[in-house]
Structure 1
Amino acid sequence: MSSPLRFVPVADGLAARHNHFGLLRLLLALSVVVSHALSVTTGRVEDEPLAASTGFTLGEHAVNGFFAISGFLVTMSYEQRGWRDYVVARTLRIAPGLIAATLVVSLLLGSALTTLDLRAYLADPRLWRFITATLTTFKSAAPLPGVFEANPLPFPMGTVWTLKYETLCYLGVLVAGLAGLLLQRRLALAIWCVLVVATIAREIVAPDGAKGVETALRLPLIFMTGGLIYLWRERIPLSLAGLAIALVLTGLLAWTPLYKAALYLVTAWGVLVLALAPALTGWRSEPPADLSYGVYLYGWPVQQGFVALFPSAGAFLLFWPGLAVTIAVAAASWYLVEKPALDLKRRLIARS
C-alpha cells in the first residue's frame, strides 16, 4: 500500500484508467440549477445559497469549477491536436447546442408562453434581436416579447453570458498556442502572476467596485490556472489532505484582500484534485450521456417557465418538476444535437 504522503503528480492522475471529469461537470451544472431555484422566484441573487457566507452564490462557485476544468482540458486539447483540430473541436462542442437552445427557447417555449398572439410574436423584431444577440454576443439579459414579463427576472436565457468568457478563453489558448506560449511555461506563469496581482489589487483599491470587473478577472484567472496545472502537471500534486488545508487557510483569509484570489486558485486546483486524485478514481463514474451542457443551457428557461405558469408556488415546489424537465430536455439535446455534432467532430479530425 502506498503512503498517503507520497507525492502524486497530476500527470499520474491523467494516466490512470478513470477520472471524474464527466461526473463533476454534471454535478456543477446541477449546482447551477439548485442555485437559481431561489433567485428566479424572488428576483434577488443574494437569496441564492452561499452568497452571504462566501461572497459568491453556489452557481458562481459551480461556474468557477467549470472554468477550471475547461482550462485544463482545453489546454490539453490544443497541445494534443494542434490549432486546426482544436478550432473544429471547440466550435462543434459549443455552437450546435447553443444554437439549438436559442431556437427552442425563442421559437417553441416563447411561442407557447408569450402574451402576444402567435402571429404578432413571430413578427416582432424583438424576437429576432433576441436570437441574434444570444448567438453573437451571448447576451443573457435580452428579452422576448411578452415572455416572462411578470417574472421577477424577465430574461429567458440567464446563463449564456458565461459562454462569452468561455469563448474568449478558448481564443486565448489558440493565440497562446500559435504564439508558442504553451511551450514557454515560465512565460505563461509570469502572465498568470500578473492576473493574480491584478485580482488582489482590485480588492485593495476598489473592493466594492463593478461586478463586471471582478468577473473579467475571476473567470480568466481560474481558466488559466486550470491550463497552467496541465502545463506543469509533472510538478503539481494531487493531495486531498493538502486541499483540506488549503480550504481552511482560504477561510482564514475571508476578511482580507487575498481572499478572492486564494479562493479562485484553491477552487481550480481543488476541482482537479477531485477529478484525478488516485484515492478517488478507482471506480468508473463517467455518465452514460454528457448532460452537463444541456442542463446548464436549459435549466434557467425551464425554471422561468414554471415560475410563469405557477407564480404563487414557492421555490421548493417548483424546483423538483423544473429539475426533472431540465434533465429530460438536456437528454434530448445530447442525443439529438450535441452527440451528433461530436461524432461529426471525430470524423473531421480523423480525416484531417
Structure 2
Amino acid sequence: MLPYLFYFFVGGLKRTRLLVLFLIVNLIHFFPMSFGTTYIELYRYFLIGMLLYAWRHVIPIRHRYALIFIVILWVFKESAMFYHLFLLVGAYLVLYAVYKWKLPTSFQVILGNLSYGMFLYGYPLQQVVAYYSPSAHAFLNFIYALPFTLLCAWLSWCLIERPSLQWMERRMARTNHQQAYKENQTPTTT
C-alpha cells in the first residue's frame, strides 16, 4: 500500500502532497511493525530530501542556523531524540553544505562527480559500519562510513561512470553522424 501512496502523492512534486506524505510515513514509523521497517526508514530520508528540494527557494540557508543545528545535534548526541533530530537537522545541514560550500571548479574536475556514487554506496557502507560497530550512534556511523563511501564513489566515477558516459557520448555522436549521412544521401526527386 505504501508504494501506491508514494506514487499518488509524489505525482508532480507538489509541495503540500510531499509534506502530507512525509507526515504519514513518519506516523507509520512510530507504529510497531513486523515487516517493512527498513523501507519506512528509507522513505523518511528520501522524502525529507525531496521536501527540502521542493521547498529550496523558501528555506533560509544561514550560517547561524547551521551552527545552531550542529550544537543541537551535539547536545542530543546521546539522547534517544538524536535519531529523529538527525533526520530533520541533518537534512538541513546537507542543504546548507550544498548551497554554501561551493567547491572550486578545478577541485570538482580533479575529483569527479561523486554524487551518484555516494548515493549508491553510502547506505550499504553504513550498514557495514553498523555491523562491525553496533554501539556507534548515527553521527559516528556517518563519520566512520564517509571516507569509505568517498573512496568507493571516486573509484566508481573513475572506473565505471565516466568511461560509460564517454562511451555513450561517442556512440551518440556516431549515431548522429550516421543519421546525418543518411539524410544527405537520400535521393531527391524534382
Greater helix percent: which structure? 2
- Residue aligned with 1:237, SS: coil
Partner of 1:198: 28
Partner of 1:139: none
2-structure distance, mates of 1:229, 1:282: 21
Partner of 1:281: 102
- Contact kept, 8 Å, 2:73 with 2:82, in 1: the verdict is yes
TM-score, normalised to structure 1, is 0.32
Q: Deviations over 1:318-340 (max 9, x none)?
A: xxxxx8xx959954x53453223
Q: How many residues align?
A: 142
Q: In the superposition, relative to structure 1, how do residues 229 and 256 fare at CA in structure 2: closer, same or farther (>3 Å)?
A: same
- Contact kept, 8 Å, 2:121 with 2:153, in 1: the verdict is no
Partner of 2:86: 263
Which of structures 1 and 2 has the bigger CA Rg? 2
Which stretch shifts more, 243-252 or 253-262?
Answer: 253-262
Percent identity over the alignment is: 23
After the TM superposition, which residues 2-151 of structure 1 pair with which residues of structure 2 at under 5 Å, given as runs?
A: none
- Residue aligned with 1:286, SS: helix
Partner of 1:180: 11
Q: In the superposition, relative to structure 1, how do residues 283 and 234 fare at CA in structure 2: closer, same or farther (>3 Å)?
A: same
Q: In the superposition, relative to structure 1, how do residues 339 and 251 fare at CA in structure 2: closer, same or farther (>3 Å)?
A: same
2-structure distance, mates of 1:220, 1:291: 22
2-structure distance, mates of 1:239, 1:233: 13
2-structure distance, mates of 1:276, 1:282: 10
Partner of 2:50: 227
- Contact kept, 8 Å, 2:114 with 2:154, in 1: the verdict is yes
Partner of 1:218: 41
Q: In the superposition, relative to structure 1, how do residues 345 and 270 fare at CA in structure 2: closer, same or farther (>3 Å)?
A: farther
Partner of 2:129: none
1-structure distance, mates of 2:78, 2:153: 42
Structure 2: where are the runs of 5+ without partners? Answer: 126-147, 177-190
- Contact kept, 8 Å, 2:49 with 2:91, in 1: the verdict is yes
Counterpart residue type for residue 190 of structure 1: V
TM-score, normalised to structure 2, is 0.53
Aligned-residue Cα RMSD (Å) equals 4.5
Partner of 2:143: none
Partner of 2:95: 272
Which stretch shifts more, 288-297 or 263-272?
Answer: 288-297
